[in-house]
Copies of this chain bind each other. A is one copy, B any other.
């Protein structure tokens, strides 16, 4: 058995079942070993940001890592932006990055680069395998690192000779320690604060946004008068149906600061004190009021649900029903007339099916989406965690690979879509049940807002550079060119009708919604 085969066997035995890839010459032995090792599904992405984004989407839904297989420094570089998003989402990912054979590196052939240096800024762990014998052990460690709470990016660099040489030695998977509970004193102290606080709030992210944790937070809120809030961006929020609702902190910092202004105690669960996404001249970047007392219930690597349960017990809450909470069940009727961000959101809400996975890269087109869809049947909501645009199509692809029995709905802004449009081909190639609503306003609209907010002068050049309408991009045509059936809709009824129709058909579908 060569190093490549030992790598694959080690990954599979540690529970890694998916490899998203765009391989090259230095990865040939890994590719060939796929025939010999059962249990690994290999999926091709036509550019590496599709590959890493799909691994992110898979990890968010499967709560375990996919692997990637990337081609040297430039192949890795192409996927870094979605690794950045995955890192911010705390998604577990194992990157396998082929490199030149050990004896070839010093010759500085054209594709040579410092792969460790390329991986480092977006990885929690980087290692180059030193020999075929080390590959299996390194792979097992990479999976263990990736699965270490809260979820990490492990990048294993595989020189071609470590891949093709014998012997390879498969390694057993390593145990993953449970997330610890916070110390008793922390829970006691927060219980005391909440009991006497005038206007407390819980700010949650990470595993705090799963159904059970949300239900516990809602019970705590009811008992103490606390509000429950989420960060603006999160890996995955379980919502809808009878799940507890949670308000999202607004994107623009002055709005977020207003929401937080009168909070006396802010209790953090899997997050940190909130900060503005960008800085602006002469405005504060920290969003909590200086008079707010901030404390942390559960750090990122701790057990959020356990911490909330312990806190609820300390507060004397007897019957904690977990996720079961009454929320509004009035699903809005189907909208009619002109398509705009509000009617588009109503069309989504009126047609959303139970168990849908919503991938939200709607940007300015989607400002109404979250509120309007709150009463819809139970669904998951995946957001852009790192601000690197181009996550929507790839993450939707990966979520569909993780959950073949569920429909994925990708709410996708046009400017961001052009960053990783190639992912549509993978959806077609793998027959994935993804509906993409391409919200086309023909501009980088967020930048028009930001230009003014940064205090920069009004600018003709800016108007020109933010305009995606010269020429207009025809997304329905682009989707068809990659084998994804597509329609263009211009009114709200048509959007609702096409959404519902897409849910009844297997395979991917794109609906270009012209706003």
Interface residues of A (CB under 8 A from B): 21, 23-26, 28-29, 31-32, 34-36, 42, 44, 46-47, 49, 73-75, 77-78, 80-81, 84-85, 88, 100-101, 103-104, 107-111, 113-114, 117-118, 120-122, 160-161, 164, 233, 272, 275-279, 281, 285-286, 385-388, 390, 415, 418-422, 425, 428-429, 446-447, 450-451, 453-462, 464-465, 468, 470-475, 477-478, 480-483
Count copies of this chain in the complex. 2
Chain B contacts of A387 at CB under 8 A? 74, 110-111
Question: Given B24, B110, B120, which contacts A88 in the complex, CB threshold below 8 Å?
Answer: B110
Between A and B, 18 residue pairs with Cβ closer than 8 Å are: A28-B450, A29-B454, A31-B459, A31-B462, A32-B461, A34-B462, A46-B419, A47-B418, A77-B84, A80-B80, A84-B113, A100-B278, A110-B386, A117-B120, A161-B279, A475-B481, A478-B478, A478-B482
Check if A471 sits within 8 Å of B32, measured CB to CB.
Answer: no
* In contact, B160 and A32 (Cβ under 8 angstroms): no
Q: Which residue of B lies closest to A37 (CB)?
A: B461
Chain B min CB distance to A513 (Å): 16
CA distance A386 to B26 in the complex (A): 15
B residues near A164, Cβ cutoff 8 Å: 281, 454-456
Chain B: which residue is nearest A474 at the CB level?
A: B481
| Chain B nearest Cβ from A218, distance in angstroms | 26
From the candidates B114, B421, B456, B464, name the one contacting A29 in the complex (CB within 8 A).
B456
Residue from A278, A425, A459 whose CB has the most chain B CB atoms within 10 Å:
A278
B111 and A471 contact, CB distance less than 8 A: no
Chain B residues whose CB sits within 8 angstroms of the CB of A25 once the complex forms: 278, 446-447, 450, 453-454
Q: Is the CB of A28 within 8 A of B454?
A: yes
Q: A199: shortest Cβ distance to chain B, in Å?
A: 24
Q: Given A81-B77, A455-B164, A471-B482, A104–B278 Cβ distance below 8 Å?
A: yes
Question: Which chain B positions have C-beta within 8 A of A278?
Answer: 25-26, 100, 104, 109, 111, 160
Q: Whole-angstrom distance from the CB of A424 to the nearest CB of chain B?
A: 10
- A418-B425, A461-B35, A465-B31 known; A279 vs B77 contact (CB < 8 Å): no
**Interface pair B161/A118, CB less than 8 Å apart:** no
Checking B32, B44, B114, B272 against A456 with a beta-carbon cut-off of 8 angstroms, the contacting residue is B32
- Residue of chain B at shortest CB distance from A116: B121
Which B residues are in CB contact (< 8 Å) with A84? 73-74, 77, 113
Docked Cα-Cα span, A461 to B44, in Å, equals 11
B100 and A279 contacting across the interface, CB-CB below 8 Å: yes
Which residue of chain B has the shortest Cβ distance to A100 in the bound complex? Answer: B279
> Please, which residue of chain B has its CB at the minimum distance from the CB of A21?
B465
Residues of B within 8 A of A118 (CB): 80, 121
Shortest distance from the beta carbon of A49 to any chain B beta carbon, whole Å: 7
Q: Is the CB of B110 within 8 A of A121?
A: no
Residue contact A451 to B31, C-beta cutoff 8 Å: yes
Is A32 a contact of B457 with CB atoms below 8 Å? yes
Q: Which residue of B lies closest to A430 (CB)?
A: B470
**Chain B minimum-CB-distance residue to A477:** B481
Q: Which residues of B contact A88 (CB under 8 A)?
A: 110
| Contact, CB under 8 Å: A109 / B276 | yes
> Are B386 and A111 closer than 8 Å at their CB atoms?
yes
**Contacts A31-B456, A418-B425; A74 near B483 (Cβ below 8 A):** no
CB-based nearest B residue for A49:
B78
Specify which chain B residues have a CB less than 8 angstroms from the CB of A473 in the assembled complex. 425, 481-483
